[in-house]
């Protein structure tokens, strides 16, 4: 009995102590962690991005403005978190308005801590079916807790449909060291011109020359690497070979295999070389193709070099305007004139000068006025149009005027005139007076006006003058210039402006464009004129055995500044 009472007391005491310990634990905070809630401070993120920092780049990390079909690149921008809190689980989503652009519509980019930034690159590519359009993208950046970028980024750029390259052998010629005939055992050089006559660029271009398997040998190898080729680009290949005395056929067929990046746009050909033929004649390569109509260029030959490999600029100058006139064919517009009265290669001069303006100087096509064989009506209309442009560009216009053709002086007053193709040399009342042209070009303010004249004004010409009976040449008087104008002329005084027959250009124009080609247009007017006034007289004596010295006129207002002018802003 007593034992039962003691046991009960101990049990009651145990329950009492347990109850006390529990309450003490609650008061002292020593209970389980789940009973305590600890709250930290929370701050929001604040996302921002500069719209002009959202740019396109190509595979080589170069900024671009156009996505072409079959081209890969990426969209790049930087997100900055200017808030006190971290941005969580950011996601970029993109919507487009046109088909055949490939990219990730949703891209997770993770977290950005307070006052930190993250550079974002989203790959984008043009599919082969991509057309020439304006692409508009909506770029949205969202955050886990709803702290999204406040504004949707609207990005627009041009897309360009795929232009196919067309790699071909366009010309060939055989040479030997002694200019004899093609004989067994003699080393022969076959020169090839490989050109891209298509509208698109390509790379990894290569040439392989395959000879017959027996008794014909390549001297220094038969594979040639060209690399990248833009439309119109060409490359000269020199392939040396010979046949030994055991070769029995009268002909040596040489298979020319061309390759390029896509494996689709290069055309093979076979050139058959006949033994015992003269090596002074060209071989005919039977490759005929109609050039694309949306872009024209000169097919390369062994006689010209400034008509191809024209330097390209990556930007346009919206304030640059040009008036280009090439008056070559006078005999078709005037009865009684023979072909010798025409101005040899003036059309080539104007055409190539135009290409340099657009390709090298960044002249927009809409800013170009170009006339070949201009009548008096067309010349006056073009000049008035240029004056109107200058008037309405509020002093920002940078104007280039180029003229190749006949010029004549007035016998009484010795004023110089430009001669339209339908104006006779005996009546200058309808011709374009140079002083009047200069006055019109400077009638309204312009940033600069540059005139290039590949013409002479003495009564002579590249072949003969418009007035063949005139025996005494007249030295025209110099015109007074006002405004921001500089004039480059091909010759001085009583000299003629001569041709460069081997290059199929006027000598002055050829040397001018050759210097632009070599410098990629990055040359000051002062350096250009110093080159021309040295090189033109020297080459004129060497090529034509006659004196020709270019001259330069400038207005009083630009005496101290014209030398620093250039073709780039």
- Residue 334 falls inside a structural domain: yes
Instruction: Decide: residue 16, CB within 10 A, 0-12 exposed, 13-18 middle, 19+ buried.
Output: exposed
pLDDT of residue 465: 56
Judge whether 283 and 273 are in contact, CB under 8 Å. Answer: yes
pLDDT band, residue 533 (cuts 50/70/90): very high
- Residue 33 falls inside a structural domain: no
Could you say which of 249, 274, 299 is where a domain stops? Answer: 274
pLDDT digits (tens, 9 = 90+) for 256-298: 999 998 898 999 999 988 876 655 433 333 333 343 345 555 5
**pLDDT at residue 1 above 50?**
no
- Residue 42 falls inside a structural domain: no
- Residue 9 falls inside a structural domain: no
Q: What is the mean pLDDT of residues 331-353?
A: 85
- Residue 20 falls inside a structural domain: no
**pLDDT at residue 317 above 70?**
yes
pLDDT of residue 69: 87
Same domain, 432 and 523: yes
Least confident range from 2-6, 88-92, 306-310, 397-401: namely 2-6
pLDDT of residue 353: 96
Identify the residue whose tokens are 């040596």: 252
Output the pTM of the full model. 0.50
pLDDT digits (tens, 9 = 90+) for 76-119: 999 999 999 999 999 999 998 889 999 989 999 999 999 999 99
Judge whether 353 and 324 are in contact, CB under 8 Å. Answer: yes
Q: Rounded distance, CA 124 to CA 103, Å? A: 5
- Residue 426 falls inside a structural domain: yes
State the residue range of the domain holding 112: 47-160
Q: What is the mean pLDDT of residues 473-502?
A: 80
Could you say which of 111, 126, 160 is where a domain stops? Answer: 160
Judge whether 406 and 455 are in contact, CB under 8 Å. Answer: yes
pLDDT band, residue 6 (cuts 50/70/90): very low
Same domain, 370 and 432: yes
**pLDDT at residue 128 above 70?**
yes
**pLDDT at residue 531 above 60?**
yes
pLDDT of residue 501: 85
- Residue 340 falls inside a structural domain: yes
Q: Rounded distance, CA 46 to CA 87, Å? A: 8
Same domain, 422 and 536: yes
- Residue 557 falls inside a structural domain: yes
pLDDT band, residue 8 (cuts 50/70/90): low
Report the CATH number at residue 188: 2.60.40.10
With H, G, I as helix, E, B as strand and everything else as coil, classify residue 526.
helix
pLDDT of residue 537: 93
Judge whether 149 and 48 are in contact, CB under 8 Å. Answer: yes
**pLDDT at residue 206 above 60?**
yes
Q: Rounded distance, CA 217 to CA 212, Å? A: 8
Same domain, 89 and 150: yes
Could you say which of 243, 274, 305 is where a domain stops? Answer: 274
Least confident range from 355-369, 448-462, 471-485, 542-556: namely 471-485
Same domain, 121 and 171: no
pLDDT digits (tens, 9 = 90+) for 399-418: 999 999 998 888 778 888 99
164: Cβ–Cβ under 8 A, 6 or more apart, which residues? 198, 199, 200, 265
Same domain, 423 and 514: yes
Return the beta strands (E) in 384-437 as ranges. 398-404, 407-409, 416-418, 432-433
Share of the chain above pLDDT 90, in %: 51
pLDDT digits (tens, 9 = 90+) for 16-70: 555 555 444 444 444 445 555 555 688 999 999 865 678 899 988 888 888 988 8
Query: How many domains would you assign to the chain?
Result: 3
Same domain, 216 and 117: no
Same domain, 474 and 328: yes
Same domain, 504 and 415: yes
Same domain, 72 and 138: yes
pLDDT of residue 404: 94
pLDDT digits (tens, 9 = 90+) for 346-404: 999 999 999 999 999 999 999 999 999 999 999 999 999 999 999 999 999 999 999 99
Report the CATH number at residue 554: 3.40.50.1460
Judge whether 254 and 143 are in contact, CB under 8 Å. Answer: no
Instruction: Give the CA count within 13 Å in the CB-facing half-sphere of 483.
Output: 24
Same domain, 93 and 187: no
In the DSSP assignment, the letter for residue 282 is B
């Amino acid at each position: 009995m007593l034992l039962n009472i003691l046991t009960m007391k101990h049990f009651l005491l145990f329950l009492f102590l347990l109850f006390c310990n529990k309450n003490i634990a609650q008061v002292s905070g020593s209970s389980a962690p789940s009973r305590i809630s600890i709250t930290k401070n929370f701050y929001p993120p604040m996302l921002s991005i500069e719209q002009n920092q959202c740019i396109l780049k190509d595979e080589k990390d170069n900024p671009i403005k156009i996505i072409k079909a079959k081209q890969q690149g990426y969209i790049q921008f930087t997100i900055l978190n200017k808030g006190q809190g971290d941005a969580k689980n950011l996601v970029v989503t993109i919507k487009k308005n046109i088909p055949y652009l490939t990219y990730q519509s949703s891209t997770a980019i993770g977290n950005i801590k307070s006052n930190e930034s993250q550079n974002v690159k989203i790959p984008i590519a043009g599919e082969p079916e991509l057309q020439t359009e304006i692409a508009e993208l909506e770029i949205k950046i969202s955050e886990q807790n709803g702290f999204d970028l406040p504004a949707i980024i609207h990005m627009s750029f041009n897309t360009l449909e795929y232009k196919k390259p067309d790699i071909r052998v366009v010309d060939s010629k055989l040479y030997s060291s002694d200019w004899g005939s093609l004989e067994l055992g003699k080393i022969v050089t076959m020169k090839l011109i490989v050109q891209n006559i298509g509208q698109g660029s390509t790379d990894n271009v290569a040439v392989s020359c395959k000879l017959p398997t027996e008794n014909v040998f390549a001297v220094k190898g038969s594979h040639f690497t060209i690399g990248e080729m833009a439309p119109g680009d060409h490359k000269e290949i020199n392939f040396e070979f010979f046949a030994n005395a055991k070769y029995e056929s009268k002909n040596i067929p040489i298979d020319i295999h061309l390759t390029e990046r896509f494996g689709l746009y290069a055309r093979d050909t076979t050139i058959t070389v006949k033994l015992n033929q003269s090596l002074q004649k060209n071989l005919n390569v039977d490759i005929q193709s109609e050039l694309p109509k949306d872009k024209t260029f000169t097919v390369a030959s062994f006689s010209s070099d400034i008509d191809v490999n024209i330097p390209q600029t990556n930007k346009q100058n919206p304030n640059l305007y040009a008036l280009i006139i090439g008056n070559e064919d006078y005999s078709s517009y005037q009865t009684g004139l023979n072909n010798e009265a025409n101005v040899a290669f003036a059309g080539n001069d104007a055409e190539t000068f135009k290409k340099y303006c657009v390709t090298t100087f960044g002249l927009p096509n809409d800013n170009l006025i170009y006339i070949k064989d201009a009548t008096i009506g067309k010349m006056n209309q073009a000049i008035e149009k240029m004056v109107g442009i200058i008037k309405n560009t509020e002093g920002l216009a940078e104007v280039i005027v180029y003229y190749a053709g006949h010029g004549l002086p007035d016998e009484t007053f010795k004023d110089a005139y430009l001669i339209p193709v339908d104006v006779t040399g005996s009546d200058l009342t309808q011709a374009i007076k140079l002083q009047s042209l200069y006055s019109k070009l400077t009638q309204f303010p312009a940033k600069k006006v540059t005139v290039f004249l590949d013409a002479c004004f003495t009564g002579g010409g590249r072949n003969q003058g418009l007035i063949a009976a005139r025996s005494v040449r007249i030295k025209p008087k110099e015109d007074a210039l006002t405004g921001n104008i500089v004039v480059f002329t091909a010759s001085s005084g009583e000299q003629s402006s001569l041709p460069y027959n081997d290059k199929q250009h006027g000598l002055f124009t050829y040397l001018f464009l050759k210097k632009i080609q070599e410098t990629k247009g990055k040359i000051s007017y002062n350096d250009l004129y110093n080159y021309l006034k040295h090189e033109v007289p020297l080459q004129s004596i060497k090529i034509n055995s006659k004196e020709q010295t270019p001259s330069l006129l400038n207005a009083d207002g630009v005496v101290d500044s014209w030398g620093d002018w250039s073709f780039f802003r």
